Amino acid sequence: MHKGRVDLSHVTGEMLYRLKFTEHTHTVYSGGFWDRMGVPVPDYPYDAPWVWQVFEDDCPPWVKHTKTLFPWLNHGLVTVNKLMPGRFIAPHQDTLYKLRKKVEQDGLDIEGMEPQRINLFLQDRLMGHYFEMEDSAWVDYVKGDYTVIKQNTTHLVANLGYQPRFTMQITGFAKTEDIK
């Protein structure tokens, strides 16, 4: 798992709690993951696999500024996720739908680059907050830590604690040798 850290001293807890989340996404189908695995969709409680999200155009300026901390990521799109206690995003592989759509609509030159997703932790890990990628858990992260999620990489997140879990995803294209 590729890990890094950026300075997020400009991000406060108040900023996180004031975010207006515009979408509430039900993730039970995991973007077709279960179909690709050839297994039935697990019988999760209906309200467990939900995540609150706010995307690029609806994000406040501090979110857009944070995206600039990754200058090696080209054509970046940003999302902030809030996972409430008792909620999770089951094992899945990101489809990068919005990024693929942007490439198609804008005719972007991505030759020599691969899609990458930065998973950036916006707060120190709290009790019950969980991240796993390719069967490796990361349970000691702090605010500003990030990992790179490459396309077709299986990962999952959960909040089994008592406080909301905030992360930011910055999705774009990069040359492997430029990832820092």
Query: Residue 103's pLDDT is what?
Result: 76
In this prediction, residue 117 has a pLDDT band, given cuts at 50, 70 and 90, of: very high
**Distance (Å, rounded) from C-alpha 79 to C-alpha 53?**
7
Residue 27 to residues 41, 92, 145, 146: CA-CA distances in angstroms?
Answer: 11, 9, 24, 22
Domains defined along the chain, listed by start: 3-178 (2.60.120.10)
**Distance (Å, rounded) from C-alpha 37 to C-alpha 33?**
6
pTM, two decimal places: 0.92
Query: Residue 177's pLDDT is what?
Result: 76
Match 């040359």 to its residue by tokens: 175
One-letter identity of residue 145: D
